[in-house]
C-alpha cells in the first residue's frame, strides 16, 4: 500500500513510543563494524603517486588550521577543485598525524562509517514513506540496514575510502546524507539547505543534489505530479518555491566548479578530444556505474581511453545498455515507480562527471559514491517487498541478500588492498584493465619502482609505455633517470635527448642530460647543461652539480663559489656543506672544513662523507698540534 504524505511529512516516519530502539543501536554497531572490517587494509596503505604527492607530500599549504592555512583552503582551486570543507579535515589530519598516511586513512575510514550509519537512518525514512509503515517497523529497519550495507561495503566504495585524495567523496557524503535526513523529516527551510551548502563546499559536483530532490518530491513523497507539465499548477508552486534556496546554492556550486576546472591544466580541450569522443564517454560513463554495481569485477583506479575511442567505436554497447535502462524506466513508471525514480536520481547525480571535462580516464569508481545510492535503495526495497510476502519467499530473498552482501564485502576488501602502495596499485590496473594501452599505468608504476630503488623494473615499465606510444616524452625522461641509476650512461643520454626533442622545455630532461654528462666525464658539456638551468626552478641542484663538474675540471674557485651560493640560498642543504668542507679540507683550511662537516652532520646525522671528513680533519688538526686552529 502507498500513502501520500501531506506537505511531504509522513507521520508514519516517526516513532510514537518512548522505548529504546535496540535494533538501531545494533544496526549502528553492525554497520560500523562491518565497514571497518571490509576496509581495514586501507590502514596499511601509503600515499600513492596518483595525485597524493601533488596534494599532500609536496603541498605545505594545507598543513594546519591557522589563519594562513584556512585562508588558503577557502581561496584555492588546487587540483581543479574548490573543496574548503574537505581541506579542513585534511588540515586536521596534518595537525594530528603529520605525514603519517595511516592517520589519514583512519580518518577516511571513520568518515565512511559515519556515512553508512547516516544512510541507514535515511533509508528508514525513505522506506517508511514508500510503504506507509512506521519508520521503527521491523520490515522498514531490516530493509534499511540491507540497503545501507549494500551502499557501504560495495567494491565501488573502495577507491573513495582507500585513496586519501578522494576524501571529498566522504566529507560531501556526510553532509549530503544529512541533507536527505532533514529533507525527508520535513525540515526543509533551514537545516536541509544548510547541510546542502556544506555538501557543495566539500565537493562542488554535489550541486546536482538540488534537482535530485525533485525526484524525491515525485516519488516517494508524492508532493509533485509525475508529469512535469503540472508542476506549475497552483498546488505545486509552494514545493517549487521551496527549492529556490537549493537551486541558488547549486548555481553557485556549479559556477565554482567551472572556475576550478578552468584553473586546472589536466583537462583536455574540445580540440584534443572531439564531440564523438565526448559523446562516447558520456554514454560509456552512464552505463559503466550501473553495470559495475551489478557486476563489480575488473575495478581499477584508471580506465585509460583507447586510441580512436568514440561514440561508434568503443561506446556502442554502452549506448544500447543506456537505451535499455531508459526503456525499462518508462515501462515500469506506473507498476514500479521506484525504478524510474532510482534511474532519474542516478542520472542527475552522475551527469556532472560524464565527459564534460574529460581527463585521461573513461570512468572513475569514486564517482559512484553518492550517485549510485539509488541502486542501494532498490536493493533495500527488494528486501522490504519480500518482508511482506510469504515466509518462504521472505527467507529466500533474505538468504540471497545475505550471500550477495557477503560477496560484495569480500570483493571490496580485496579491492581496498590494491591501494597498498603505488606499485601494487598500478600492477592491479595493468592486470585488471585488459585491451588498453595502460601507458599511464606503466609510467606510474615505473615511478613507484624508482622510488623503491627497483631501477631495472622501472626501466622495463618505461619501455612498455614507449612501445605503445613512442612520442611519450615522460617515458624517455623516466627511463633515462632509471638508466642513470643503473649506470647505463649512454642509454640515459639517448633517452634524455629523445625527451628534449619531444619537449624542449623540459628542465628535468635537461638536468638529467647534464647529470649523465657529468657521470660520463663530459665535464664541459655538464657545465653548459647546468648553467642553462641555473636561473630556473632547478637552480639549487644545478649549481650543486655544476660545482662537482668545476671540481673535476680543477676549477676549484668556481666550484667554491657555486657551493657558497647554494648554502646562502638554502642553508639547510647538508650535501652543499659536505662538499664545501671537502674543498676546504683539500686547501688545508681545516677549521673551516670541520665547521662545514659538523653543520652537514647537524642537518643529516647519517651523512657518511661528512662523518668521514670530520674524522679526517680532526685527525689532521690533532697531528698539526693545533697549528691550523679550531
Where do the domains of the chain lie?
Answer: 20-417, 437-520, 529-569, 571-630
Pick the CATH number of 437-520 from 3.40.50.300, 3.90.1150.10, 1.25.40.10, 3.90.650.10: 1.25.40.10
* Nearest C-alpha neighbor of 3 from the set 131, 139, 138, 123: 131
For 361, the 3-state DSSP assignment is strand
- pLDDT at residue 191, as a whole number: 94
- pLDDT at residue 69, as a whole number: 96
- pLDDT at residue 230, as a whole number: 86
C-alpha cell recorded at residue 157: 566504495
Distance between CA atoms of 230 and 235, rounded to whole angstroms? Answer: 9
- pLDDT at residue 310, as a whole number: 81
Q: Which residues pair with residue 314 across a beta bridge?
A: 310
For 304, the 3-state DSSP assignment is strand
Q: If you ran DSSP here, which 8-state letter would residue 389 be given?
A: S
Q: Residues 230, 235, 239, 244: what is their CA dihedral angle, to the nearest 10 degrees?
A: 80
- pLDDT at residue 536, as a whole number: 87
Cβ partners under 8 Å of residue 241, min gap 6: none
Over 312-327, what HEC string results? CEECHHHHHHHHHHHH
String of DSSP letters for 137-177? SHHHHHHHHHHHHHHHT-GGGHHHHH-GGGHHHHHHHHHHH
Measured CA angle at 348 (ends 344, 349), to 5 deg: 115
Task: Count CB neighbours of 450 within 10 A.
Answer: 22
Block means of pLDDT (10 residues each) for the chain, 630 residues, are 41 50 88 96 95 93 95 92 96 95 97 96 94 84 95 97 97 97 90 96 94 94 86 86 94 88 61 73 92 94 85 86 94 92 95 73 93 96 87 87 96 97 95 82 94 94 92 94 94 94 93 94 94 91 94 93 94 93 92 93 91 91 63
Amino acid at each position: 500500500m502507498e500513502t501520500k504524505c501531506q506537505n511531504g511529512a509522513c507521520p508514519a516516519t516517526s516513532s510514537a513510543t518512548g522505548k529504546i530502539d535496540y535494533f538501531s543501536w545494533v544496526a549502528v554497531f553492525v554497520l560500523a563494524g562491518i565497514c571497518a572490517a571490509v576496509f581495514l587494509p586501507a590502514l596499511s596503505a601509503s600515499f600513492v603517486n596518483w595525485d597524493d604527492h601533488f596534494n599532500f607530500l609536496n603541498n605545505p599549504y594545507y598543513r594546519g588550521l591557522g589563519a594562513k592555512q584556512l585562508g588558503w583552503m577557502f581561496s584555492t582551486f588546487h587540483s581543479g577543485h574548490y573543496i574548503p570543507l574537505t581541506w579542513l579535515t585534511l588540515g586536521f589530519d596534518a595537525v594530528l598525524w603529520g605525514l603519517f598516511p595511516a592517520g589519514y586513512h583512519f580518518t577516511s575510514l571513520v568518515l565512511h562509517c559515519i556515512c553508512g550509519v547516516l544512510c541507514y537512518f535515511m533509508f528508514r525514512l525513505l522506506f517508511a514513506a514508500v510503504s506507509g509503515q512506521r519508520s521503527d517497523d521491523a520490515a522498514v529497519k531490516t530493509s534499511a540496514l540491507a540497503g545501507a550495507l549494500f551502499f557501504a561495503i560495495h567494491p565501488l566504495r573502495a577507491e573513495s575510502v582507500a585513496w586519501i585524495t578522494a576524501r571529498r567523496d566522504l566529507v560531501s557524503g556526510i553532509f549530503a546524507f544529512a541533507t536527505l535526513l532533514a529533507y525527508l523529516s520535513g525540515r526543509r527551510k533551514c537545516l536541509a539547505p544548510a547541510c546542502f551548502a556544506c555538501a557543495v563546499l566539500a565537493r562542488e559536483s554535489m550541486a546536482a543534489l538540488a534537482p535530485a530532490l525533485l525526484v524525491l518530491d515525485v516519488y516517494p513523497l508524492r508532493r509533485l505530479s509525475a508529469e512535469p507539465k503540472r508542476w506549475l499548477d497552483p498546488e505545486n508552486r509552494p514545493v517549487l518555491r521551496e527549492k529556490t534556496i537549493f537551486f541558488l546554492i547549486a548555481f553557485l556550486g556549479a559556477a565554482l566548479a567551472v572556475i576550478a576546472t578552468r584553473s586546472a591544466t589536466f583537462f583536455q580541450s574540445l580540440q584534443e578530444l572531439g564531440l564523438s569522443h565526448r559523446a562516447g564517454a558520456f554514454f560509456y560513463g552512464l552505463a559503466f556505474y550501473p553495470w559495475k554495481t551489478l557486476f563489480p569485477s575488473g575495478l581499477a583506479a584508471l580506465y585509460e581511453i583507447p586510441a580512436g575511442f568514440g561514440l561508434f567505436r568503443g561506446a556502442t554497447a554502452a549506448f544500447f545498455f543506456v537505451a535499455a535502462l531508459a526503456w525499462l524506466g518508462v515501462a515500469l513508471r506506473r507498476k514500479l515507480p521506484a525504478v524510474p525514480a532510482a534511474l532519474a536520481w542516478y542520472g542527475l547525480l552522475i551527469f556532472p562527471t560524464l565527459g564534460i571535462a574529460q581527463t585521461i580516464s573513461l570512468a572513475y569508481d569514486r564517482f559512484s559514491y553518492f550517485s549510485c545510492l539509488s541502486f542501494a535503495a532498490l536493493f533495500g526495497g527488494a528486501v522490504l517487498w519480500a518482508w511482506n510476502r510469504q515466509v518462504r519467499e521472505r527467507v529466500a530473498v533474505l538468504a540471497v541478500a545475505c550471500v550477495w552482501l557477503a560477496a560484495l564485502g569480500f570483493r571490496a576488501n580485496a579491492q581496498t588492498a590494491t591501494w597498498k602502495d603505488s606499485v601494487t596499485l598500478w600492477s592491479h590496473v595493468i592486470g585488471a584493465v585488459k585491451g588498453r594501452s595502460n601507458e599511464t599505468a606503466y609510467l606510474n608504476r615505473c615511478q613507484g619502482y624508482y622510488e623503491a630503488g627497483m631501477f631495472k623494473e622501472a626501466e622495463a615499465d618505461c619501455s612498455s609505455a614507449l612501445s605503445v606510444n613512442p612520442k611519450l616524452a615522460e617515458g624517455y625522461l623516466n627511463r633515462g633517470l632509471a638508466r642513470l641509476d643503473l649506470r647505463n650512461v649512454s642509454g640515459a643520454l639517448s633517452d634524455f635527448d629523445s625527451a628534449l626533442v619531444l619537449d624542449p622545455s623540459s628542465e628535468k630532461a635537461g638536468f638529467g642530460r647534464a647529470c649523465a654528462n657529468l657521470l660520463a666525464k663530459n665535464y664541459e658539456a655538464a657545465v653548459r647543461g647546468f648553467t642553462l638551468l641555473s636561473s630556473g626552478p632547478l637552480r639549487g641542484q644545478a649549481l650543486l652539480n655544476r660545482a662537482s663538474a668545476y671540481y673535476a675540471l680543477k676549477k676549484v674557485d668556481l666550484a667554491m663559489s657555486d657551493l657558497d651560493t647554494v648554502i646562502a640560498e638554502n642553508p639547510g642543504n647538508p650535501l652543499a656543506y659536505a662538499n664545501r668542507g671537502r674543498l676546504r679540507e683539500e686547501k688545508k683550511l681545516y677549521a673551516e672544513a670541520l665547521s662545514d662537516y659538523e653543520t652537514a652532520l647537524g642537518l643529516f646525522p647519517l651523512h657518511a662523507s661528512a662523518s668521514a671528513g670530520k674524522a679526517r680533519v680532526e685527525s689532521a688538526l690533532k697531528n698539526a698540534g693545533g697549528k691550523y686552529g679550531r
